[in-house]
Homo-oligomer: A and B are copies of this chain.
Amino acid sequence: MFKAIVSADTLGAALDSVGVLVDECKIRLEEEGLTIRAVDPANVGMVDLELSANAFESYETDGGVIGVNLDRLEDIVAMADSGQLVHLELDEETRKLHISLDGLEYTLALIDPDSIRQEPDLPDLDLSSEVVIEGADINRSVTAADMVSDHIALGVDPDAEQFYVDAEGDTDDVHLELGREDLIDLTPGDARSLFSLDYLKDMNKAIPKDAEVTMELGEEFPIKMHFGFAEGDGHVTFMLAPRIQSD
């Protein structure tokens, strides 16, 4: 049993953060809320999403897992006006999800969860640095790096107490340094890793410009990025595996 009412904005933000990595996913229906965990086909980017029952106008379930076509579900929710409520109800017999918004009823065929790629375990990493940064600064870094390269290095210089971004192209380079005064918070430690810009661009699409994003970074280690939405009742963690530094 699953029956819930939620604002289109909240549901849209939740789905979009997963949709930048995968087209289909399993949604775990739990008493405390929804969770989605997914990894892209190349095993490079992962997402862990939690949307607490508090983020919903109403939320009832006795548990279960459903498989959805994310593209389709995002399109439906995108039809709603901002602030409009979306009603969700699972039909156990037909295995269809009834979605209604302002009188319009959409019947979405679910996907067999067993046919969907297995959910990843998000490894518990001991990362040396933590940077709390505005979403707008991630956007700026990714946009600039994209002009010169397919890769981007993110790092922390503990002596200078700076977070930095490096992108090296064939002829041109991009560099950004943000000190304590430019960041929301910084727990410095030696850290530098190289990432595929394509993945970071996709993740960036789902990060609100005004979000406070907590980055955990290490030395040639994956990066974790966390941010909240829906007034703190929603939470996204992205994890991105590093590329091997070629120099």
Q: How many residues of A contact B (CB 8 A)?
A: 26
A residues 66-100 with Cβ under 8 Å of B?
72, 75-76, 79
Given that A75-B147, A79-B140, A147-B75 are contacting pairs, would A103 and B174 also be in contact in the complex, using a CB cutoff of 8 Å? no
- CB-nearest residue of chain B relative to A107? B173
**Stretch from A17-25, A175-183, A210-218 contacting the other chain:** A175-183
Number of copies: 3
Between A and B, 22 residue pairs with Cβ closer than 8 Å are A72-B147, A72-B172, A75-B147, A76-B144, A76-B147, A79-B143, A102-B140, A103-B177, A103-B178, A103-B182, A104-B140, A104-B141, A104-B174, A105-B174, A105-B175, A105-B176, A105-B177, A106-B172, A106-B173, A106-B174, A107-B173, A109-B172
CB within 8 Å of B: which residues of A? 72, 75-76, 79, 102-109, 140-141, 143-144, 147, 171-178, 182
